[in-house]
Chain A
Amino acid sequence: GESVGLHLPTLSVQEGDNSIINCAYSNSASDYFIWYKQESGKGPQFIIDIRSNMDKRQGQRVTVLLNKTVKHLSLQIAATQPGDSAVYFCAERETSGSRLTFGEGTQLTVNP
């Protein structure tokens, strides 16, 4: 079936460095994508989203890039901080419904 997955299960960076978390998706009908952050013991928290008519969207310290040609999504975190340590999930959704399909998650660890 259709799936969303992540290339790297773990990522360790130094505080202040930039982080890049990648995600591949396979459902060509998906045209809305979301990045979530999940801290231990908490539910996923919305970070940033992007629609398929865009290839880049920026938020505060975060940027999402979408490459529809190769079905690839990435989350860039600038000046990574210890508070950014968490599991990051990408999720996709078809406009025909509101079911979110999540990937497996990347554990980001920020070393002081």
Chain B
Amino acid sequence: EAGVVQSPRYKIIEKKQPVAFWCNPISGHNTLYWYRQNLGQGPELLIRYENEEAVDDSQLPKDRFSAERLKGVDSTLKIQPAELGDSAVYLCASSLGGTSVYNEQFFGPGTRLTVL
């Protein structure tokens, strides 16, 4: 079974440019997460989707970040415009979903963003 797929794996852009990351979760997983991971730190949740609905986006900087999961399957995270401080690894994860808090989250390999 394929894991969580993310692309691109690496992205280098200049500040003020836009950037987008794509994630395809494990088939059948209704819950999708986007995390940001700074160097040496643990991942921090940006947004969580249950199917196509964003149910937790309280930590998403909405002035420059946006996300969508239109058909409840794959998802795109966008930053516009990017700032130097956005350099990080952006991780996508998925889980079966539902109300159980014990559903394991499976992480993708991440996209390493460098903003120059």
- A residues in contact with B103, CB < 8 Å: 98
Complex CA gap A32/B44 in Å reads 17
Given known A43-B91, A43-B107, A98-B31, contact A91–B42 (CB-CB < 8 A): yes
Interface flags, A77-110, vs B, CB<8A=1, else 0: 0000000000001010111011111111100000
Complex CA gap A49/B93 in Å reads 17
Complex CA gap A44/B41 in Å reads 12
Query: Is the CB of B25 closer than 8 A to any CB of chain A?
Result: no
Interface flags, B86-100, vs A, CB<8A=1, else 0: 000001010100000
Total chain A interface residues with beta-carbon distance under 8 A: 25
What 4 pairs across the A-B complex have the smallest Cβ distances? A102-B42, A43-B107, A89-B42, A44-B107
15 contacts between A and B (CB under 8 A): A4-B42, A32-B101, A42-B109, A43-B107, A43-B108, A44-B43, A44-B91, A45-B107, A46-B105, A49-B102, A51-B102, A98-B103, A99-B48, A104-B40, A104-B42
The residues of B with any CB-CB pair to A shorter than 8 Å are 4, 31, 40-45, 48, 56, 91, 93, 95, 101-110
